[in-house]
Structure 1
Amino acid sequence: MLEIAVLGLLSESPMHGYELRKRLASLLGAFRAFSYGSLYPTLRRLSEAGWISEESPLDATSATSRSRRGKRVYQLTAEGKEHLADLLAEVGPDAFDDEGFGARLAFFAQTRSEIRLQILEGRRRRVEEQRDGMKSALGRTGERVDRYTRVLHEHGLESVDREVRWLTELIEHERSDAGNGTDN
């Protein structure tokens, strides 16, 4: 998930670590808590794989890429662009879970329409399964739980129902766009 997010953000523009941290926090904040301690090891791994390059302060030719502390600027390589496209084209269970779905959704504009549709449908199935489990659990507990616990469970169920409706709308729009020959 973090790999997709980092590569996706760097595909938009090169940036230094602090800027990347801020953008990741704002991007992923809605989907999950982001650990800053995981960013720099991820950047190092992506660099070692050849998917991103680092421009050290000594290599910087632009005054805008330097600061008093000499921040490293990271940018996507050609291999990184290919790797990001491969990651965004993968449709598997991790694309449907909370973290994977959120990161992929953030970069849907870079994802092919048929892949977006598969991910949306997979996520909806996952959420519908969750909803069915919640309904079943709520039915089993019945009056054995206090009213506050029951209301909390009902609130969770309403949230899941809202997500199913939202996903259904996204799927309908995606199908409609595909039928019209548009890809956004």
Structure 2
Amino acid sequence: MLEIAVLGLLNESPMHGYELRKRLSGLLGTFRAFSYGSLYPTLRKLSEAGWIYDESPTEDTAASGRSRRGKRVYRLTADGKEHLAELLAEVGPDAFEEEGFGARLAFFAQTRSDIRLRILEGRRRRVEEQRDGMTSALTRTGQRVDRYTRELHQHGLEAVDREVRWLDELIEHERSDAPPRDR
């Protein structure tokens, strides 16, 4: 998930580590907690694979005579662009889970329409399974839980129902916008 997010952001524009951290936090923060400690190992891994490169910083000499280190700017390579396209084209179970779906959704503009539709439909199935499990659990527990616990379960169920409706709207929109050959 982090790999897709980093490659996707660098595909939009080159950026230095601090800027990348801020953008990732804004992007992934709505979907999950983002660990800053995972960014630099991911950047190193992507660099070693040849998917990104960094422009090595140069030393600047300030007026005070002190040396100031420049920022490393990370850029996507041609192989990195191909790898990102491959990652975005993969439709597996991780694309339907909360974390994977959020990262995929953030880069839907870079994803083919038929892939977007498969991901949306897979996510809807996953959320509907969650809803069925929650409904079953709520029915089983029935009167055995206190009113507040029951309300909490009901609140969760309503949130899942909202997500299913939202996904239905996205799927309908995707189908109506798709050219005939992508449908």
TM-score range, shorter chain: over 0.9
Residue 85 of structure 2 is matched in structure 1 by 85
TM-score, normalising length: structure 1: 0.92
Deviant stretches of 4+, over 4 Å: 179-182
Q: Is the 8 A contact 2:59 2:68 kept in 1?
A: no
* Aligned twin of 1:145: 145
Look up the match of 1:159: 159
Give identity over the alignment, percent.
84
Q: What pairs up with 1:113-128 in 2 under 5 angstroms? A: 113-128=113-128
Structure 2 match to 1:169: 169
Structure 2, gaps ≥5 residues long = 61-66
- The question of 1:53 aligning with 2:53 is answered yes
Paired with 2:24 and 2:91, the residues of 1 have a C-alpha distance of: 23
**In structure 2, what is the equivalent of residue 24 of structure 1?**
24
In structure 1, C-alpha distance between the alignment counterparts of 2:23 and 2:2, rounded to whole Å: 12
Which amino acid in the other structure matches residue 12 of structure 1? E
Q: State how far apart, in whole Å, the 1-side matches of 2:23 and 2:116 are.
A: 23
Query: Which runs of 5 or more residues in structure 1 are unaligned?
Result: 61-66
Give me the TM-score of the superposition, normalised by structure 2: 0.93
**For the pair shown, which has the larger CA radius of gyration, 1 or 2?**
2
Q: 1:173 to 1:180 in 2, by over 3 A?
A: farther
- 3-state DSSP class of the match of 2:178? helix
2:58–2:69: 8 Å Cα contact kept in structure 1? no
Counterparts of 1:156 and 1:25, CA distance in 2:
25
Letter in 2 for 1:97: E
Could you tell me how far apart the structure 1 residues matched to 2:26 and 2:33 are?
A: 10
Distance in 2, matches of 1:47 and 1:155, equals 44
